[in-house]
Amino acid sequence: MLHRARRLLVRQRTMTACAIRTHFAEFGIIVGQGRQRVDSLVDLLDDEELALPATARMALDVLVNQLKELDRQVDAIERELAQMQRVNPMAKLLPSIPGVGPITATALAATVPDPTMFRSGREFAAWLGLTPKQNSTGGKDRLGRITKQGDSYLRHLLVIGARNVVRYPKARSRVGGGWIEALLERRRPMVVAIAVANKLARIIWANLRRLEERIRSSASVRAPRRTNPAGHRFCGISSIAVSRACSWLFPMRAEVLSKALRIICRRPAINAAWCIFIAMSSATCRRPGSAR
């Protein structure tokens, strides 16, 4: 919910900044695109020597106040997301990857709680819509645009992070500087950014999968043994009941079988083949006096 609210506020902030820039352009004050340039217009509005009609100044003041309020709300949500990122183990791990920050990390941790849903990093990238469409036939591979399926918000965040990786050499070297530079010689920067986003998605899946396996292994080691005061249970049946049944069926080996069952019930990690072996060995027993 925080991510959705932030996305809406960022969209409104962009619309407000564009409105301020276009209104200034009506009076011959033209600046390029970018938030920093809009901030310079806001500072220019405080100049009393600027010749603007009273109605235009009033409208611009309303838009500037709205822009500042949106900035404050977006900053508050980002601080909350940063605090959540420091608590969540998955979100804490992901910012070590180039192009992934607290916002992307918390969004991935909230949307993909179990990475084992995907068999590979390629499947995870395809789920995000970062793989090209296939139109191959006759042994010829024809790849089109990306599918753009899946969560558009996650794809948007990964593409923004990939563009920063492509732009800055320091981050580029951590992902694969030679590979990215070779792609830049043959393709446009935006196409290279999509390829880098696909690679980042695979790296993210691998990190999440290793973390999930590590958490499960530690949980299995720390899990306390469950005991039953009425006796241990084997396949849902009390070991005492099993030993009594065995004493009636196989009196010659009932004591040995009962001890084996109690050991297996206490140690679930023993291979099930031991259970089969014990059952088969006990089946060779016959009641006293029976024909052989």
Q: What does pLDDT average to over the chain?
A: 78
What's this model's pTM, rounded to 2 decimal places? 0.65
Q: Calculate mean pLDDT across residues 263-273.
A: 50
What distance in Å separates the CA atoms of residue 81 and residue 110, rounded to the nearest whole number? Answer: 11
Q: Calculate mean pLDDT across residues 127-147.
A: 82
Is residue 247 very low, low, confident or very high in pLDDT (cuts 50, 70, 90)? low
The values of phi and psi at residue 251, to 5°, are -70, -25
Q: Calculate mean pLDDT across residues 50-72.
A: 89
Q: Is 220 exposed, middle or buried (0-12, 13-18, 19+ CB in 10 A)?
A: exposed
Asked whether the beta carbons of 200 and 158 are under 8 A apart, the reply is yes
The values of phi and psi at residue 281, to 5°, are -70, -35
Distance of CA 139 to the CA centre of its chain: 36
Torsion of CA 161, 162, 166, 168, to 10 degrees: 20
pLDDT tens digit sequence for 41-55: 888 887 777 778 888
Task: Count the helix, strand and coil residues of the chain and give each as a percent rounded to the nearest 5.
Answer: 70, 5, 25
Q: What is the pLDDT of residue 292?
A: 44
The answer, yes or no, to whether residue 8 has pLDDT greater than 90, is: yes
Report long-range pairs for 159-164 (Cβ below 8 Å, ≥24 apart): 159/193, 159/194, 159/197, 161/98, 161/99, 161/100, 161/101, 161/104, 161/197, 161/200, 162/99, 162/193, 162/194, 162/196, 162/197, 162/200, 163/189, 163/190, 163/193, 164/99
The answer, yes or no, to whether residue 271 has pLDDT greater than 90, is: no
Q: Which residues make Cβ contacts (< 8 Å) with residue 38, sequence separation at least 6?
A: 17, 20, 21, 31, 67
pLDDT tens digit sequence for 183-193: 888 888 899 89
What distance in Å separates the CA atoms of residue 86 and residue 68, rounded to the nearest whole number? Answer: 27
Which amino acid is residue 240, in one-letter code? I
Q: Is 262 exposed, middle or buried (0-12, 13-18, 19+ CB in 10 A)?
A: middle
Q: Is 71 exposed, middle or buried (0-12, 13-18, 19+ CB in 10 A)?
A: middle
Asked whether the beta carbons of 186 and 151 are under 8 A apart, the reply is no
Q: Where are the domains of the chain?
A: 2-87, 90-134+142-222, 233-283
Cα-Cα end-to-end distance for the chain: 74
pLDDT tens digit sequence for 68-85: 999 999 999 999 999 998
Asked whether the beta carbons of 161 and 183 are under 8 A apart, the reply is no
pLDDT above 90 coverage of the chain, percent: 19
| Maximum mean pLDDT: which of 172-176, 191-195, 211-215, 236-240 | 191-195
Q: Can you give the length of the chain in residues?
A: 292
Q: Calculate mean pLDDT across residues 107-131.
A: 87
Widest pairwise Cα distance in the chain: 120
Q: Calculate mean pLDDT across residues 157-183.
A: 85
